[in-house]
Amino acid sequence: MPPRQVNIAVIGTGGVGTAFISQLETLSKRLASAPSPTSLNLVLLARSTKMLFNDFTPLSFTNWTSTLSSSTTPTPSPSDLASLLSKSKDPIILVDNTSSQELADTYPLILQKGIHIATASKKAFSARTTWNAIQSASANNGHTGGGYIYHESSVGAGLPILTTIHDLVDTGDRVTKIEGVFSGTMSFLFNSFQPVPGAGTGVPFSAAVREAKEKGYTEPDPRDDLNGLDVARKLTILARLVGVDVESPTSFEVQSLIPKELESAGSADEFLARLPEYDGKMKAYETTAKAMGGVVRYVGKIDVAKGEVRCLLEIFKVDHPIAALKGSDNIVSIYTERYGANPLIIQGAGAGAEVTAMGVTADVLRILRALH
């Protein structure tokens, strides 16, 4: 029997994209020599301005960086890309390693054309209308002719969070509550600001932010982390999976850690220069937490019965799993009817190119299994 052919189109060649391409190369070698072989053909490789595509002829993994750099073919618009990929004779998977809102908005159209999607992007899952359009178009929900879509890395990178919640819900369990630390940046900041006893001395909040930025743990402008929106986007995805129909990441309570006065205080550097003036407010949280025998952490919470989603600072006793989190790890506690008082807990690195790409590669495998 000749190997089955599956085409892969990769958009985005940043850190996650580059790690994914490397994992894809390893995977394609393994699947080519499996008892029932599959040829995973990289047929399109694109970054924002240019792409490699040769009428579905497989591209070489060797020197793809320089080959792509010297390409003169412009990357088409997302809808033109959808038309192009829909001409594939073999099943085709679009791997979106960008954070492009325009590409994400095109997912429903892409799925309708029978193209499958694996992505680490959160962008498609924020607005309720796009979410609903994706649900209506995707083969995941049994829509004939639609493509499959998986996005494990959109929450907690490669940690098996979405897969696990799907398994719980699909087998008939009811999730009652989710709480956790969903941002590697927030995790690092608060572990530096107020470590648990025995794990070192804390630093002023502004110093923690500065250190996180220097280590590359924040967005170029740290306010894009401190406003809580990244956490809110992840909670929006989780909330919908467990049946809480939120409108958007800005439709519920999200505590911003940016002092009001600094919200539009010019550049990131100006912001960082003035942040120490506001250390006193964060210090007060620390003092209160300490008096209660705990530490303060930035968490996301979903209360399913109340239909309530919140991102906020909370105090946790030092023996609570959320307090004990290390480095820039994420943690998610999933409370369900079957698991009762003690939640199912998943924790580990929630950011980083390799583990994020891993979630995407696992999504590709899930699509391959579904296509079997």
Does the footprint of its own copies cover residue 119 (CB under 8 A)? Answer: no
Does the footprint of its own copies cover residue 32 (CB under 8 A)? Answer: no
State which residue, 4 or 283, has the beta carbon closest to its own copies. 4
Helix intervals (H) in 275-340:
279-291
Residue 68: phi and psi, rounded to 5, are -65, -40
State which residue, 126 or 140, has the beta carbon closest to its own copies. 140
Is 18 assigned to a binding site? no
How close are the terminal C-alpha atoms of the chain, in Å? Answer: 14
Is 17 assigned to a binding site? yes
In the residue annotation, 234 being an active-site residue is answered as yes
Residue 134: phi and psi, rounded to 5, are -65, -45
Contact assessment for residue 115 and residue 34, using Cβ atoms and an 8 Å cutoff: no
Bridge partners of 53, per DSSP, are 44
What is the total count of residues that contact its own copies (CB under 8 A)? 55
Contact assessment for residue 230 and residue 239, using Cβ atoms and an 8 Å cutoff: no
String of contacts with its own copies for each residue 184-203, x by CB under 8 A: ------------x-xx----
> For its own copies, which residue of 52, 82, 254, 346 counts as binding (CB under 8 A)?
346
Q: Tokens for 82, please give them.
A: 């959808």
State which residue, 75 or 347, has the beta carbon closest to its own copies. 347
Cα(250)–Cα(25) distance, rounded to whole angstroms?
39
Contact assessment for residue 225 and residue 186, using Cβ atoms and an 8 Å cutoff: yes
User: Which part of the chain contacts its own copies (CB under 8 A), choosing from 41-49, 275-283, 300-308, 340-348?
Assistant: 340-348
Of 371, 364, 369, 323, nearest in space to 119 by CA: 364
- For residue 185, give the H/E element and its range: helix 184-193
Is 15 assigned to a binding site? yes
Cα(231)–Cα(299) distance, rounded to whole angstroms?
8
Q: What's the burial of 215, exposed, middle or buried (CB within 10 Å: 0-12/13-18/19+)?
A: exposed
> For its own copies, which residue of 80, 263, 277, 319 counts as binding (CB under 8 A)?
319
State which residue, 124 or 168, has the beta carbon closest to its own copies. 168
Q: Which are the contacts of 112, defined by CB distance < 8 A and separation ≥ 6?
A: 137, 145, 146, 147
Does the footprint of its own copies cover residue 339 (CB under 8 A)? Answer: yes
User: Which part of the chain contacts its own copies (CB under 8 A), choosing from 5-13, 95-103, 113-121, 317-325?
Assistant: 317-325
Is 250 assigned to a binding site? no
Rounded to a whole number of angstroms, the minimum distance from the CB of residue 95 to its own copies is 13
String of contacts with its own copies for each residue 350-369, x by CB under 8 A: --x-xx--x--xx--x---x
Residues that are catalytic: 234
Summarize as ranges the residues that interact with its own copies (CB under 8 A).
1, 23, 26-27, 30, 34-37, 141-144, 158-160, 163-164, 167-168, 170-173, 196, 198-199, 319, 321, 324, 326-327, 329, 338-340, 342-349, 352, 354-355, 358, 361-362, 365, 369-372
* Annotated binding-site members: 12-17, 98, 122, 219
